[in-house]
Structure 1
Amino acid sequence: MEERRQKILKGLKEYLLIAFGLLVYVMGWVIFLIPNNLVGGGVSGIGAVVYYATGIPVSVTFFVVNFVLLAIALKVLGPSFGIKTVYAVIITTLMFQFLPQVIPSDIIELIGMSNGKLLATIIGGVMSGFGIGLAISQGGSTAGTDIIALMVAKYRNISTGKMILSIDVFIVLSSLIIPMEDSAGNMLTWGEKIAVVTYGFVLIACCSYTIDLYLSGSKQSVQIFIFSKKYPEIADRIASEMHRGVSVLDAEGWYTKADSKVLMVIARKAELNTILRMIKGIDPEAFLSAGTVMGVYGKGFDKIKVKAKQNEA
């Protein structure tokens, strides 16, 4: 019963965090990017280009394009990802539809348009990247180019942010051939379109860098060596409460020549403080070292994504 309750609470937390990430993402577009006629990557970027050219709301384009792409997510990335992504697409569509009506235009003009397009590009890109990164870390996505990037990342050891960056470059360049109007209703000149593309490159660079920064931080792992006479109790607590494997190593103190046991634990960086408090509660005199590791592959961590070489005949 308790395990089922914990599972429900964990799922609820994931859905709430996805919604919060998408709120930050949409606010970046609604407050900073769309009011400044900026074009970014992803389906939101496509929606922005269509909006500038035809006046069709971003929410409509966003929903229609993602509806087609969701079938791919369900097939390749699994039903769990598909359910969360359907949820994310619906939430994002509703936010794109109603946030512009909720946020006063005076606030948008004061915050998003009064400090220049470059600052708006950087802030909007960081907010978009943070929102996407948070959604992806909880198993969701804003769909679109995220789906393509995650499918490739599932089978290849390629950065999610860099993959999204490559795809989004083509979307931004497409704004050169599509008629676009400024906020006053005047058609953009070629020089103004080149400026839009330049800002678009800055935007997707900020967004992809923020995605990588967030995801690498959330997945970062640490290796802990624990020296304590109470190692059996510490090992039992880590295994039962943290659900992390513990290895017991034989050691010898060079100065004392005494035999001892050393615990080796690999965990997520976010779990480090919990483990430290646990150790301190059991043995305040314990000696330990903790260091960041470049990568951890296997059960409970990341999967190995490189293909094994085939033996030559």
Structure 2
Amino acid sequence: MKFSINELKSYAIITLGLCVYSFGWTAFLIPSEIVAGGAGGIGTLIYYASGETIPVGYSYLVINVFLILIALRVLGSKFGIKTIFGIVVGSILLTLQQRIFSEPLVDDKFMATIIGGILGGAGIGITFTQGGSTGGTDIIAMMINKYYNISPGRIILYLDIFIIASSYFLFKDISTIVYGYVVMGVAAYAIDMVISGAKQSAQLFIISPYHEEIAQRIGTETGRGISMIHSTGWYSKEESRMLMIVVRKHETQRIFKLIKEIDSEAFISMASVMGVYGLGFEEIRA
């Protein structure tokens, strides 16, 4: 099986996300006896219920084996391969890092909750941007998100409530549940921020007497579609053409540089766009 450069880059980013995710769990949440959601949360419950004899990475792997079968059927083999990769690598990282961090890196439990939630959520978000998953409720969230415009963070938020609440039967402490819910909320916010950050788009309006040359360069060098709109200056009463283009945020600097090379005095208006659907952007779901 041959992998392109882009595919290898995608797997490298997924691995980075898994490192961030497992670090948040093993260095902050697990040693602080904080139970969050997902397979990691169930694994934490099993770890303490077994007298700290069954590492979280082991139960994390077993739990996800069953969910993989569903993901393969619903999301396709490509997602399934990345899911299997994520679960195997995630299990290894959780097991190895749990051996390293026997004590939390911060003594304050609330700080461990916040930091662990941010790192765990950011790690999940990074893997999501590449079509991967850390397993557990992430798989269910990705399956629902495939068909409906519901943020993965919100889906995970709902699915993890029961897992966290069940920690009371093990620790007999309400504060444990509260910490778990704080992690859940922080992680859900971090997931959405990472994902929306990767998908942010911008709408550009460009007014220049060199609009044809600018449109030609943008279309040729970026592959983005351009709309040419008839416009009339209110003060000058002169008819002109205005270009409208929607691109990813990270592409805007390239567009600005290209326009400056042609017309350094061009008038440009840029606005953030909440959602862009269609060819080259997000798939329309209903």
Shorter-chain TM band = over 0.9
* Residue 153 in structure 1 maps to residue 145 in structure 2: yes
Partner SS state of residue 282, structure 2 = coil
Contact 2:83 2:135 in 1 (8 A): yes
String of CA shifts for 1:117-160, please: whole Å, max 9, x gaps: 11100000000010000110111110210111111111112121
Partner SS state of residue 284, structure 2 = coil
Aligned length: 283
* Residue 206 in structure 1 maps to residue 186 in structure 2: yes
Name the counterpart of 1:87.
85
Query: Percent of aligned pairs with the same residue?
Result: 46
Name the counterpart of 1:3.
none
List gaps (5 residues or longer) in structure 1. Answer: 1-6, 180-187, 307-313
Out of 13, 20, 25, the position equivalent to 1:17 is 13
Name the counterpart of 1:45.
41
Runs of 4+ in 1 over 6 A off after TM superposition: none
What letter is aligned with 1:277?
K
Contact 2:27 2:101 in 1 (8 A): no
Name the counterpart of 1:259.
239
What letter is aligned with 1:90?
V
Deviation at 1:302, TM superposition (A): 1.6
* Residue 29 in structure 1 maps to residue 25 in structure 2: yes
Deviation at 1:303, TM superposition (A): 2.2
Deviation at 1:104, TM superposition (A): 6.0
String of CA shifts for 1:88-121, please: whole Å, max 9, x gaps: 11110110121233x365xx45x23x2x111100
Out of 101, 113, 131, the position equivalent to 1:121 is 113
What letter is aligned with 1:176?
Y
Deviation at 1:285, TM superposition (A): 1.5
Following superposition of structure 1 onto structure 2, how do residues 108-257 of structure 1 map, counting pairs within 5 Å? Answer: 108-109=103-104, 111-112=105-106, 114=107, 116-177=108-169, 179=170, 188=171, 190=172, 193-257=173-237
Partner SS state of residue 260, structure 1 = strand
C-alpha distance in structure 2 between counterparts of 1:104 and 1:304, whole Å: 44
Name the counterpart of 2:96.
98
Name the counterpart of 1:297.
277
Partner SS state of residue 229, structure 1 = coil
C-alpha distance in structure 2 between counterparts of 1:81 and 1:165, whole Å: 22
String of CA shifts for 1:209-238, please: whole Å, max 9, x gaps: 111122122212111001122222222222
What letter is aligned with 1:248?
M
Partner SS state of residue 166, structure 2 = helix
C-alpha distance in structure 2 between counterparts of 1:273 and 1:229, whole Å: 21
Pick closer, same or farther for the CA change 1:263–1:213 going to 2, 3 Å: same
Task: Provide TM-score, normalisation by structure 2.
Answer: 0.94
Query: In angstroms, what is the RMSD of aligned CA positions?
Result: 1.7
C-alpha distance in structure 2 between counterparts of 1:288 and 1:33, whole Å: 47
Deviation at 1:296, TM superposition (A): 1.3
C-alpha distance in structure 1 between counterparts of 2:221 and 2:22, whole Å: 37
Of the structure 1 ranges 226-235 and 256-265, higher mean CA displacement relative to structure 2 is found in 226-235
C-alpha distance in structure 1 between counterparts of 2:47 and 2:265, whole Å: 64
Contact 2:204 2:270 in 1 (8 A): yes
List gaps (5 residues or longer) in structure 2. Answer: none
C-alpha distance in structure 2 between counterparts of 1:47 and 1:243, whole Å: 46
Partner SS state of residue 32, structure 1 = helix
What letter is aligned with 2:40?
S
Contact 2:204 2:271 in 1 (8 A): yes
String of CA shifts for 1:178-217, please: whole Å, max 9, x gaps: x3xxxxxxxx4x2xx2111111001111100111122122
Following superposition of structure 1 onto structure 2, how do residues 57-72 of structure 1 map, counting pairs within 5 Å? Answer: 57-72=55-70
Task: Provide TM-score, normalisation by structure 1.
Answer: 0.86
C-alpha distance in structure 2 between counterparts of 1:121 and 1:235, whole Å: 50
What letter is aligned with 1:254?
W
Of the structure 1 ranges 253-262 and 166-175, higher mean CA displacement relative to structure 2 is found in 253-262
C-alpha distance in structure 1 between counterparts of 2:4 and 2:212, whole Å: 32
Deviation at 1:271, TM superposition (A): 1.5
